[in-house]
Amino acid sequence: NADRNKVYRHSTNLSMAPGSTERLVETTLAAARDELVRGLGGLLDQAVPVKTSPGDRIPDGAVIVGTRDSSSAVRQYTSADDLAPVGDDGYLIRSFSRGTQRFTVIAGNTEAGALYGTFAFLRRLQTHKPITRLDISESPRVKNRHLNNWETVRLYAGNNASGTGGLSGENGTIFNFAATGASAGRNLPVILDRYIVVARAMASVGINGITINLVNADNVYLTAQYIAQEAALADALRPYGIKIALSINYTAPTDPRFAPDTLTNEQLDPHGDEFRGWWNRRARMLRDSIPDFTGFTVKANSEGQPGPQDFGDDHGDGANAIAAAVAPLGMKIYWRTFVYNADVDEDRLKRAYLEFGYIDDERRPDGTRGRFLDNVFLQTKNGPLDFQAREPVHPMFGRMENTNQALELQVTQEYTGQDEMLCYLAPMWEEVLKTDTYATDERGRLLGKRLMGHIVDGTAQRHSDTAIVGVANLGNADNVTGHHFSQANLFAFGRQSWDWTLDSADIAADWVRMTWSNREHVVGTIVKMMMGSWEALVSYQTPLGIAHQFRSSDHYGPNPAERLARDDWSPVYYNKADSVGLGYDRSPTGSDFTAQYFPTLEARYGNIGTVPENLLMWFHHVSWDHRMRSGRIFWDELVYRYQMGVQYVTWMRLTWDSLQPSLDARRFSEVKAKLAIHEADAGDWRDTCVNYWKEFSGRDNPVDDGPLS
Ligand code: GCW
């Protein structure tokens, strides 16, 4: 790319590891080599020789990385047949011994595959797993493993709600466009070191794409001036196997910033040539600057964003129009399904399936089913509400068998403690991905493979293109995520989108070994803290399936009494507290949202006797004296849960203190300070909520050993 010479590095407060090169790497194999040199050099504490010219003698102990095209040694030691099963992004890692020589070959069909193999090999070393006699063959279960970067919303960007600590940018955005003030001169096309740090972190866990701007999209990202900057960013990320995409606004063609190439409202007809032509032209501009640009993420008719419904068209019309416009360029559309409208449905959870489901059922002119085009993904949050700490799975998964479905997870901790609380999310994602949807085929027979993971990886309903998207937690804090432990969520997101069958405790153990220490007691202790941290947060924030009790100002603290102008944003709408009890009846006696699930789940969730207790108030209005499986009445159980959650945080704080001798002083004290805030804020959740519920239950507090008594 001719523009590449213009790309140069600029150091910021975030410094590269010692020994890093100041030159931007230009190829993926160079990135792999740099990682090995840096990683091995760091682990062995000595310089590692690099040999790039082909020769016939492989030195003892060598590590050879490449593709069959790039390396004669890879050609010699792997066959095309060996490599075929690992596909585009997979890799082989094999140990060889020839006479007295022992060496390791890391091979991919593509350079990206070789890079992922390199990181996997380094991970083995870092986590003290054997590196001899290897015969590893790995490939991802999901093709598109992407981040969505909600850049301008500071509290989601891996920075904290209170605004203290860690911020160096103006608004929390990690990529600087048209920066002013303190950031002047550091805007793209200047490539800041932290972009490379983040690219390496993403590649190390197999993330291969990023939509760089917020879903409430600003059209400025489609202007020529921004496209030039995006091209520089794409060039910097490309060697790490990461391709970029943009969020767009449905009515962008009417924005005067694109004059003279603008459309009128009347021309925003998804069936007309003007609308499609406009998107095709804009996509070609992007492609001309960014040859591997992947496409658009679209939030339409959602939370005030414009969309096809404003013009009498539906999501199928809108998504297909833009998809058809970009299909010749090999691009895709990730159309979000986060829609709700309390004026239409009292229970907002039902809305998405009603707006999208029928489009999936329609027949195409050729007789096949499903109106959405093949280059459309419907991008759906794991649960039907909005990234609450525990939600039932979204009923659309499995119900949209003729449409590509992307699963959207929130890596950044909007509703899970932001960067103040230690909350390891992988167990939640594991619970989501391993949930049985009980999906059936057209004749009502249960599918053989029907876990959420099977739906998402395409094996349940034979989809070849598959995607998992994580709302990113990248920010300007010098540890990128604000809380040291939030890095574990980015790490786990990548690992689980590569292979959703992994065990979240194993992922935690890898992360702890790579991040803190390989000493067994440290690993065991920190993994234990992490593994219970999410369930504890559920307990002190929203136990037993009560949803969304957050104060609207920051989605961090509690406000169960809050009533906003909109019912469907108000905590009181979700808790429905009254003298009878608590919770939202979505069973057949209530909103009947349960009817959107496949029959087995519909029956299970719809009956208060069979619903899992951790989802109780998602589906039922539960009377204060309802008998729980523990033998306690609901009121007592509820208060116990709040208290248990807080006690867990106290336990984490004390446990962390006990690790002081084994950890580095700076990070130890930073986490210690966060845990103190965490404990106080968890207590605030418990006290605020329990005291409010008391006004309705009229009952005493059964917990007599805590601050509540
Ligand atoms: O979680 C909610 C957030 C909104 C967000 C929306 C979405 C960017 O509170 O800020 O919009 O979800 O997913 O579109």
pLDDT tens per residue across span 476-528: 888 888 899 999 999 999 999 999 999 999 999 999 999 999 999 999 999 99
CA distances from 24 to 175, 188, 649 (A): 17, 14, 43
Burial of 133 (0-12, 13-18, 19+ CB in 10 A): exposed
Are 126 and 167 in a shared domain?
no
Interior angle at CA 105, CA 99 and CA 109, nearest 5: 145
Residue 23 has what pLDDT? Answer: 61
Q: Does residue 408's CB lie within 6 angstroms of at least one atom of ligand 1?
A: no
Relative orientation angle of helices 224-237 and 273-289, to the nearest 10 degrees: 50
Mean pLDDT of 129-158: 85
More confident residue, 143 or 179: 143
Centre of ligand 1 to C-alpha 338, Å, is 9
Ligand 1 centroid–CA 153 distance in Å is: 10
Q: Is the CB of 215 under 6 A from ligand 1?
A: yes
Task: Give the mean model confidence (pLDDT) for residues 65-75.
Answer: 94
Where a domain ends, among 484, 515, 546?
515
462 and 313 belong to one structural domain: yes
Are 381 and 526 within 8 A, CB to CB?
no
pLDDT at 113: 98
> What CA–CA distances, in Å, run from 500 to 24, 122, 141?
33, 21, 8
442 is catalytic: no
Instruction: Please state, rounded to an integer, the average pLDDT across all residues of the chain.
Output: 91
Asked about 269 being catalytic, the answer comes back as no
pLDDT, position 1: 31
Would you say 460 and 500 are in contact if contact means Cβ atoms under 8 Å apart?
no
CA of 125 relative to ligand 1 center, distance in Å: 39
* ∠ Cα 381 210 120 (to 5°): 100
Separation of CA 92 and ligand 1 centre (Å): 40
SS3 content of the chain, % helix, strand, coil (to 5): 40, 10, 45
Tell me the residue type at 20: S
**Distance (Å, rounded) from C-alpha 629 to C-alpha 256?**
62
Is 338 touching ligand 1 by the criterion CB < 6 Å? yes
In a domain, 3, yes or no: no
Contact call for residues 192 and 176 (beta carbons, < 8 A): yes
Among 117, 138, 159, the domain boundary falls at 138
Instruction: Quote the ligand 1 centre to 158 CA distance (angstroms).
Output: 15
pLDDT at 4 over 90: no
Which of 138, 161, 180 delimits the end of a domain? 138
Which of 149, 216, 247 should be mutated for ligand 1, with most atoms under 8 A from CB? 216
pLDDT tens profile 244-269: 999 999 999 999 999 999 999 999 99
Pair (248, 391) in one structural domain = yes
- Ligand 1 atom, smallest distance to 150 CA: 8
Nearest CA to ligand 1 atom 12: 386
177 confidence band (pLDDT: 50, 70, 90): confident
State both tokens at 39. 């990683």
pTM to 2 decimal places: 0.94
Q: What is the DSSP string of 578-633?
A: -SSEES---STTTT-GGGGS-HHHHHHHH-TTTS-GGGHHHH--EETTPBPTTSSB
Residue 619 backbone dihedrals phi, psi, to 5 degrees: -120, -10
Among candidate residues 386, 391, 535, 568, the one labeled active-site is 386
What pLDDT score was predicted for residue 56?
67
Contacts of 671 (CB under 8 A, 6+ apart): 422, 483, 484, 485, 656
3-state secondary structure of 468: strand
Backbone angles phi, psi at 492, to 5 degrees: -70, -35
Q: Could you tell which of 386, 387, 473 is best to mutate to test the pocket of ligand 1, judged by most ligand atoms within 8 Å of the CB?
A: 386
Q: At residue 709, does pLDDT exceed 80?
A: no
Q: 299: Cβ below 6 Å to ligand 1?
A: yes
Query: How far does the centroid of ligand 1 lie from the alpha carbon of residue 297, in Å?
Result: 14
The predicted pLDDT at position 485 comes to 97
Q: Which atom of ligand 1 is nearest to the CA of 381?
A: 13
How much is the pLDDT for 162?
Answer: 35
CA 581–ligand 1 middle distance (angstroms): 30
706 has pLDDT over 70: no
Q: Which of 183-192, 322-331, 461-470 has the lowest mean pLDDT?
A: 183-192
Residue 112 lies in a domain: yes
Per annotation, catalytic residue among 230, 314, 414, 681: 414
Distance CA 664, CA 610 (A): 48
For residue 406, being part of any structural domain is answered with yes
Choose which residue among 303, 394, 554 to substitute to test ligand 1 binding: the one with the highest number of ligand atoms within 8 A of its C-beta.
Answer: 303
Range of the domain at 178: 146-515
Q: Which of 88, 288, 303, 441 is catalytic?
A: 303
- Whether ligand 1 lies within 6 angstroms of the CB of 381 is answered as no
Task: Report the pLDDT averaged over residues 111-132.
Answer: 96
**Calpha distance 531→572 (Å, rounded):** 31
Lowest mean pLDDT among 42-56, 96-110, 392-406, 475-489: 42-56
Judge whether residue 708 has pLDDT over 60.
Answer: no
Assess whether pLDDT exceeds 80 at residue 153. no
Ligand 1: atom nearest CA of 299 is 14
Query: What separation in Å is there between the alpha carbon of 549 and the centre of ligand 1?
Result: 16
We report the CATH number of the domain holding residue 378 as 3.20.20.80
**CB 216 near ligand 1, within 6 Å:** yes
Considering the domain architecture, whether residues 101 and 221 belong to the same structural domain is answered as: no
Tell me the pLDDT tens digit for each residue of 90-103: 999 999 998 888 99
- pLDDT the model gives residue 57: 81
Distance CA 60, CA 596 (A): 61
Residue 83 clears pLDDT 90, i.e. is over it = yes
In a shared domain, residues 41 and 131? yes
What is the structure's pLDDT at 13? Answer: 33
User: Does 544 lie in the same domain as 511?
Assistant: no
pLDDT at 172: 56
- Establish whether residue 250 lines the binding site of ligand 1, counting it when its CB lies within 6 angstroms of any ligand atom: no
Name the strand (E) or helix (H) holding 274: helix 273-289
Same domain, 464 and 552: no
Q: What is the pLDDT of residue 186?
A: 84
- The atom number, within ligand 1, closest to the CA of 555 reads 9
Collapsed DSSP state (helix, strand, coil) of residue 494: helix
**414 is a catalytic site residue:** yes
Same domain, 578 and 488: no
| Confidence (pLDDT) at 705 | 54
**pLDDT of 151 over the 80 cut:** no
| Residue found under tokens 């559309």 | 333
Note the helical H segments in 483-542. 486-498, 504-515, 520-541
pLDDT of 48 over the 90 cut: no
Relative to the CA of 216, which ligand 1 atom is closest?
8
In a domain, 129, yes or no: yes
What are the Cα distances from residue 347, in Å, to 384, 567, 584, 665? 11, 10, 9, 50
Q: Does any domain span residue 228? A: yes
Q: Distance from CA of residue 290 to its chain's centroid?
A: 24
DSSP 8-state symbol, 64 = E
Task: Establish if 11 belongs to a structural domain.
Answer: no
Q: Is 556 in the pocket of ligand 1 (CB under 6 A)?
A: no
Whether 595 is covered by a domain: the verdict is: no
Exposure string of 165-186, with b = 16+ CB inside 10 Å and e = fewer, is bbbbbeebbbbbbebeeebeeb
pLDDT of the residue at 182: 67
What's the token pair of residue 123? 């991970």
Residues 283 and 248 in one domain: yes
pLDDT for 20 beyond 60: no
Per-residue pLDDT averaged across 139-151, rounded?
A: 95
Q: What atom in ligand 1 is closest to the CA of residue 386?
A: 1
pLDDT above 70 as % of the chain = 91
Give the pLDDT band of residue 167 (cuts 50, 70, 90).
very low
Whether residues 30 and 133 share a domain: the answer is yes
Instruction: Indicate if 463 and 505 belong to the same structural domain.
Output: yes
Q: Give the tens place of pLDDT for each residue, 217-245.
A: 999 999 999 999 999 999 999 999 999 99
Domain count, the chain: 3
Quick one: 381 exposed, middle or buried, by C-beta within 10 A (0-12, 13-18, 19+)? Answer: buried
Structure tokens at 287: 């492609």
Q: Tell me, what CATH number does 106's domain have?
A: 3.30.379.10
User: Do residues 132 and 184 both lie within one domain?
Assistant: no
Return the pLDDT at 43: 86
Longest dimension (CA), the chain: 83
Decide if pLDDT at 299 tops 90.
Answer: yes
C-alpha 269 – ligand 1 centre gap (Å)? 27
Whether residue 268 is contained in a domain is answered as yes
Side chain identity at residue 217, one-letter code: A
